Amino acid sequence: MKSTGFMSNLCIIPARGGSKRIPRKNINPFLGKPIIAYSIEAAIQSNLFDEIMVSTDDEEIAEIAKQYGAKVPFFRSSENANDFATLADVLIEVVDQYKNIGKTFKNICCILPTAPLTSHSRIKEAFSKLIDENLESVVPVEEFSYPILRALEFDANNKLKMIWPEHLITRSQDLKPAYHDSGSFYWVITNALLDQNTLFCKNGSAIKLPEIEVQDIDNETDWKLAELKYKLLND
């Protein structure tokens, strides 16, 4: 692999040191090894990337990332290591940092460091869709388990009401399915990211994931559920 010039695919795993809900979340042990290791290994096993890097502001995370096969060619700025920086901000900073050392990439895959249920086959599936359909971005999504058009809310007087009352008596099977971001990984064309400053581009699409492959991890219960799902998927 050349040290400078144009390359095809870059994998970026964003893993800052700060984590308020689960301390040291990005390197917390998950079934025997740091959770970030699963994202690095999935990227390696996909055989899609010219470079796999971790964007971090933390020395310990950097060392663990390198132990599992990722590169940390530079550290994240303090500006993009706070609670207000968007994922797009972090990726654009990485693109600029690589450009400064003479490297550019056509496509980027951002894999979150707390996505142990992400498989190399799903990464490849999404990439194939990106290329075959000439898209700007592809994300994995999961269907909401209950129709969101039947959602409820509390009003200013703490009274319960439907958000969309016009669907009060609509049959569930007659409502359009709705989906949410799985929060696991994202494919995006680099130029589209720079132009639109988002991972959900205008010419974007998705692959659908089953519930067992998706788990948001924000607390100890989520963590245990993710471990259970991982065991079921890899039994």
**Quick check: 166 pLDDT over 80?**
yes
Cα end-to-end span (Å), the chain: 36
Question: How far apart, in whole angstroms, are the C-alpha atoms of residue 13 and residue 202?
Answer: 23
**Quick check: 18 pLDDT over 80?**
no
**Quick check: 1 pLDDT over 50?**
no
Q: How many CB atoms are closer than 10 A to CB 191?
A: 13
What is the pTM (predicted TM-score) of this model? 0.93
* Tens digits of residue pLDDT in 79-94: 888 878 899 999 999 9
Helices (H), the chain: 35-46, 59-67, 87-100, 120-132, 190-196, 220-233
More confident position, 22 or 190 = 190
**Mean pLDDT calculated for residue range 178-188:** 97
Please tell me the predicted confidence (pLDDT) of residue 22: 83
Question: How far apart, in whole angstroms, are the C-alpha atoms of residue 141 and residue 180?
Answer: 5
Q: Which CATH superfamily is domain 5-142+180-233 in?
A: Spore Coat Polysaccharide Biosynthesis Protein SpsA; Chain A (3.90.550.10)
Question: How far apart, in whole angstroms, are the C-alpha atoms of residue 11 and residue 111?
Answer: 7
Please tell me the predicted confidence (pLDDT) of residue 123: 98
Each domain of the chain, given as residue ranges in start order, spans: 5-142+180-233
* Tens digits of residue pLDDT in 81-140: 887 889 999 999 999 999 999 999 999 999 999 999 999 999 999 999 999 999 999 999
Please tell me the predicted confidence (pLDDT) of residue 4: 45
Question: How far apart, in whole angstroms, are the C-alpha atoms of residue 140 and residue 215?
Answer: 12
Please tell me the predicted confidence (pLDDT) of residue 5: 58
pLDDT confidence bin for 172, thresholds 50/70/90: confident
